[in-house]
């Protein structure tokens, strides 16, 4: 009887894994003409801001703290689910920097956020994409703010830095977790939710496929030459916000990049981890608001 129960569990576990694998590889190829990212436009104020979430995230990441945004009614906000995440399409595709940027650009142009008086804010993966957007279209944006920028010299560098990271943060930057993506229904439950991640954000973290996660991680976070990317916007007004206790994106790696930026402000936050926005949205928005006023 015990053996039968054990075999049943193994078969069920394997079935979930196979389904997760096939869901990624059997998805349709990416069609940039027909596939549009999921997004929300909030507000009709004169100040335009684009918000880009991190790996495994969704636009709900930002909605959790929008109530703390100073002078909220003066903003027009564009919240985007990145390609392969949240409620956006999840094709079997490259998920490289060019593809991600192209999908975001399509939304930006459709909503008129390309008029030159726009700020783009990105967290983690979204911070790399924010830099890429401004580098490709400097005339679209006035300035940008990036939070928790992940900078690594390769896969081995990631492996040596994740001893203190939670499973949720580990999934955000470590390709060894690609197999975990096969088993979303088994571990994306309340038992595994970190205390600092709200329920709705945690649920959305399970909406990606292993293809969208793994290829984005490798092709954008790991393989992007951040020095070269940063050099494209070196004179742009940029605010960098980083937690001192960020185990997923160590602060010392970002500090090495700081000399590249000639018109930047670096905010080093004590007792803050990778999810400083979720923990202290009022603090983050205050820093961004002050930065906007000065610049």
- In this prediction, residue 190 has a pLDDT band, given cuts at 50, 70 and 90, of low
Residue range 6-15: mean pLDDT, rounded: 46
**Whether the predicted pLDDT of 175 surpasses 50:** no
Per-residue pLDDT, 214: 85
Residue with tokens 């903003």: 75
Cβ-proximal residues to 244 (8 Å cutoff; 6+ apart), any chain: 251, 268, 269, 270, 271, 272
- Predicted confidence at residue 192, as pLDDT, reads 63
116 confidence band (pLDDT: 50, 70, 90): very high
Instruction: For residue 159, give both structure tokens.
Output: 């492996």
Looking at residue 99, its pLDDT comes to 97
The lowest-confidence range among 10-24, 241-255, 267-281 is: 10-24
Q: Give the residue from 226, 40, 249, 3 showing the smallest Cα distance to 124.
A: 249
Report the pLDDT value the prediction gives residue 217, as an integer from 0 to 100: 87
Is the model more confident about 247 or about 97? 97
**How would residue 198 be classed by pLDDT, with cut points 50, 70 and 90?**
confident
The per-residue pLDDT for range 264-286, each reduced to its tens digit, is 999 999 999 999 999 999 999 99
pLDDT at 139: 96
Among 130-139, 173-182, 185-194, the range scoring the smallest mean pLDDT is 173-182
Q: In which order are the strands placed within the sheet that holds 75-80?
A: 39-42, 75-80, 47-52, 118-123, 141-147, 237-243, 264-269
Where is mean pLDDT largest: 1-15, 109-123, 215-229, 244-258?
Answer: 109-123
Mean pLDDT of 42-50: 95
Mean pLDDT of all residues in the chain? 84
pTM: 0.85
Mean local confidence (pLDDT), 168-174: 50
Confidence of residue 156 (pLDDT cuts 50, 70, 90): low
Q: Categorize the per-residue pLDDT at 293 as very low, low, confident or very high, splitting at 50, 70 and 90.
A: confident
């Amino acid at each position: 009887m015990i053996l039968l129960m054990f075999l049943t569990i193994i078969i069920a576990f394997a079935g979930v894994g196979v389904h997760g694998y096939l869901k990624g590889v059997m998805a349709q190829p990416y069609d940039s003409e027909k596939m549009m990212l999921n997004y929300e436009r909030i507000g009709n104020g004169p100040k335009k801001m684009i918000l880009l979430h991190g790996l495994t995230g969704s636009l709900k990441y930002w909605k959790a703290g929008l109530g703390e945004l100073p002078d909220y009614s003066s903003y027009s906000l564009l919240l985007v689910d990145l390609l392969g995440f949240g409620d956006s399409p999840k094709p079997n595709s490259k998920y490289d920097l060019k593809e991600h940027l192209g999908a975001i650009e399509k939304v930006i142009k459709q909503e008129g956020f390309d008029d030159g008086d726009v700020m783009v804010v990105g967290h983690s993966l979204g911070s790399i994409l924010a830099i890429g957007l401004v580098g490709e279209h400097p005339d679209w944006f006035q300035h940008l703010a990036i939070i928790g920028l992940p900078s690594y010299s390769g896969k081995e560098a990631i492996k040596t830095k994740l001893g203190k990271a939670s499973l949720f943060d580990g999934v955000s930057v470590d390709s060894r977790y690609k197999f975990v993506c096969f088993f979303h229904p088994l571990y994306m439950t309340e038992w595994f939710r970190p205390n600092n991640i709200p329920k709705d954000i945690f649920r959305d973290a399970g909406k990606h496929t292993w293809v969208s996660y793994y290829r984005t991680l490798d092709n954008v976070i790991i393989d992007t030459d951040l020095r070269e990317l940063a050099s494209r916007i070196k004179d742009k007004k940029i605010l960098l916000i980083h937690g001192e206790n960020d185990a997923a994106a160590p602060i010392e790696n970002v500090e090495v990049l700081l000399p590249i930026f000639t018109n930047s402000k670096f905010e080093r936050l004590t007792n803050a981890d990778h999810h400083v926005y979720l923990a202290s949205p009022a603090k983050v928005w205050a820093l961004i608001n002050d930065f906007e006023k000065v610049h």
